[in-house]
Amino acid sequence: MTRKIIIDTDPGQDDAVAIFLALASSELDVQAIIAVAGNVPRSHTVENARRVLELAGRADIPLYAGAERPLQKTQTTAEHVHGPTGLDGIDMSWSPSMPVQEQSGVEYLIQSVRAAEPQDITLVMLGPLTDLAIALTLAPDIASRLREVVLMGGAWSELGNITPAAEFNIYADPQAADIVFNAGIPLVVLPLDVTHKCLGLPERLKALRDNGNRCSVAAADMLSYSERFDLDKYGWKGAPLHDPCTIAWLLQPEIFSGRSVHVGIETAGVLSTGMTVVDWWSVTGRAPNALFLTDADSDAFYTLLTTRLATLP
């Protein structure tokens, strides 16, 4: 039985690889993509999502535009990591032609979750959580209708990547994250603790490139671009690969391990806005609201990624 997913994303090279992995996996039925502002402004994330879908030969998948800005916070983007377009590293000289749906991503989200059978739709969130937070505010009934939300964001022992205390996706819209983490939806969180263990070592990127098909080569080209910032920053032999961990968890959850814990979102910190406050040792007595993963078998993850992407155009 395939699992129906909607991917909300801010591509972003690692978002693009996550979308490729989902499209390459027959266990998943990608209902739609929603492109939200995040790594780069929404005008770019929408264009990038079109490119990714066209590269994968899947212009048939409906694409919606999500929110243009965070709920309250001043917008933060990450061109210093992802380049001016957000998808630097591949040939960007061609113009995508697939349509963008007229309906807003938030309206689509509400309508499609209401129209589906309860527990039928899984949401995969790869960027700031703005769209889901708006949808939950306008239509609180969708919370109990979602099967699960699988998201990349936050950190426990790895703390932050955009500030010393906060991971980018949560920091970019902490008020939205606060709404999502308090909505009572089953949450699966792939934080920096996991993604910092899934390093794109040179031999792993080479294996991807050696697949030789268009999407694998594009994935290798994109990651070879976006890694430069992280290699310099961390001094590691490979850059973390973030967003594809969500899809890998849906496909092979045994690759990952973690705990059910309570995660609070710091919305009003002086130095710690956007921090995920993880009650790892159960000191607060608050009921767990998330399965928070902290470890991964990175070889198994890259084997999955490489073999699946080989099946794309």
Residues that bind ligand BDR (CB under 6 A): 12, 14-15, 39, 78, 81, 126-127, 152, 161, 167-169, 242-243
242 is catalytic: yes
Q: How far is the CB of 141 from Ca ion (least distance, A)?
A: 28
Q: How many residues bind Ca ion (CB under 5 A)?
A: 6
Instruction: Report the residue number, 169 or 267, with the smaller CB distance to ligand BDR.
Output: 169
Of 3, 86, 94, 96, the residue nearest 58 (C-alpha): 96
Residue nearest to ligand BDR (CB): 168
The CA distance from 295 to 313, in Å, is 31
The CA distance from 181 to 213, in Å, is 39
Q: How far is the CB of 103 from ligand BDR (least distance, A)?
A: 25
Q: Rule CB under 5 A: is residue 244 a binding residue for Ca ion? A: no
Residues across the chain: 313
Q: Which does 70 bind (CB under 5 to 8 A by kind): ligand BDR, Ca ion, none?
A: none
The CA distance from 251 to 253, in Å, is 6
Q: Which does 161 bind (CB under 5 to 8 A by kind): ligand BDR, Ca ion, none?
A: ligand BDR
Q: Which does 167 bind (CB under 5 to 8 A by kind): Ca ion, ligand BDR, none?
A: ligand BDR
Characterise 235 by phi-psi region: left (phi > 0), alpha (psi -120 to 50), beta (else). left
Instruction: Report the residue number, 152 or 183, with the smaller CB distance to ligand BDR.
Output: 152
Q: Which does 200 bind (CB under 5 to 8 A by kind): ligand BDR, Ca ion, none?
A: none
Q: List residues near Ca ion by CB under 5 A.
A: 10, 12, 15, 126-127, 243
Active site residues: 242
